[in-house]
Every structure is written in C-alpha cells, then in structure tokens.
Amino acid sequence: MNKLEHAFDFAGFSFPKYVWAKGPYYTAPTPNASGRGFYLDDAGAPGLRWEYADEVARLNHQGWFTDNEGWGDTIRGIVLRLPKGRGFLAGWTLGAGMASSVEYEVYGDATEAAFAADSIAERAAEDEREYQRALDAEEEGEE
C-alpha cells in the first residue's frame, strides 16, 4: 500500500484525507495535531504578521533541505506576531503561497519563538526526508 494513500485510521476515516491541495503540495489533517496547516499568504492563512526565523534571530542558515542531496525545497521557520503584543507563534513554511504550519504554543519573546520555529522546521524537514526514503524503498521493492 502506498504510504501517500493511507497513513492511519482515526474515527472510522483513513488518513491522510486530501483536503487542501495546491499544485504538487498537499496538507492533510491529523488527529491530535499540535498545530494548524495553511498556505502562507493565501486566503486560509492566519491574518498575522510574520517573519522568517532566520530574520528574527541569528541563525547560520536559511532553512532545512527536504532531501539528502540539498537540491530540493527548503523548510524555513516562521514567527507569527499575535496582535496587541500578546506574544508570538512558531511554525514552518515552504515559502510564500506554499504549505505551512504553525503550532499553538505562545512565546513571550520573538527570539525564543524564532529558535523554536527553527527547531520545528528542522523536525519537519527530517520527517519529509524520512518519508521520501520510505517511499523510495517502497518503489524499489515494487520493481
């Protein structure tokens, strides 16, 4: 079974269910997720001001590669500013108009949120690389 077609069952439904799709990218809801998926600067995005994590804090890179070769997409951390000085949210993005996610933990400091966002982006990139390895192994097994 292709992992892209069916990852797990929850409440009688097989996931991922392809709810949002934009070009070759998609996002699927997952139960008990710690954040919210959206497309950055698109109609479904939260109406918050945002910056890349590497623009908020001194990081020695501008994102994490989604492939082992370093030729693919990069996932960057983002910091979203809550209104009226209520704090900051951390998340990741593939770029403007692309798949993104934000977690619900509120940070009091923008730099703290930037380092958390970078960590979240690193984890998302690792997950994507792992998924691609599994998909490649599955395709090799079918041949």
Q: What angle do CA 42, 128, 114 make, to 5 degrees?
A: 60
Does residue 54 have a pLDDT over 80? yes
What residues does 51 pair with on adjacent strands? 79
The Cα 137–Cα 87 span in angstroms is: 43
Tell me the pLDDT band of 121, cut-offs 50, 70 and 90. Answer: very high
Amino acid, single-letter form, for residue 80: L
Report the chain's mean pLDDT, rounded to a whole number. Answer: 80
Label residue 49 exposed, middle or buried (CB < 10 Å: 0-12, 13-18, 19+): exposed
Q: Please give the C-alpha separations between residue 102 and each of 10, 68, 77, 114, in angstroms, as whole numbers.
A: 22, 24, 9, 12
Residue 14 lies in a domain: no
Q: How many domains does the chain have?
A: 1
- Please report whether residue 25 resides in a domain: no
Distance CA 2, CA 65 (A): 23
Rg of the Cα atoms in the chain: 16
Confidence of residue 52 (pLDDT cuts 50, 70, 90): very high
The pLDDT value given to residue 15: 54
pTM listed for this prediction: 0.73
Task: Tell me whether residue 88 is in a domain.
Answer: yes
- Which comes out higher in pLDDT, residue 94 or 35? 94
β-strand partners of 93? 76, 100
Query: Is 43 within a domain?
Result: yes
117: three-class secondary structure by DSSP: helix
Question: Does residue 1 have a pLDDT over 90?
Answer: no
User: Which of 5-9, 73-77, 117-121, 129-133 is predicted with the least confidence, judged by mean pLDDT?
Assistant: 5-9
Reduced to 3 states (helix: H, G, I; strand: E, B; else coil), residue 99 is strand
Tell me the residue range of the domain where 136 lies: 34-142
* Statement: residue 9 has pLDDT above 90: no
> What pLDDT, in 10s, does the model give residues 62-93?
999 988 888 889 999 999 999 999 999 999 99
With contact defined as beta carbons under 8 Å apart, do 92 and 40 qualify?
Answer: no
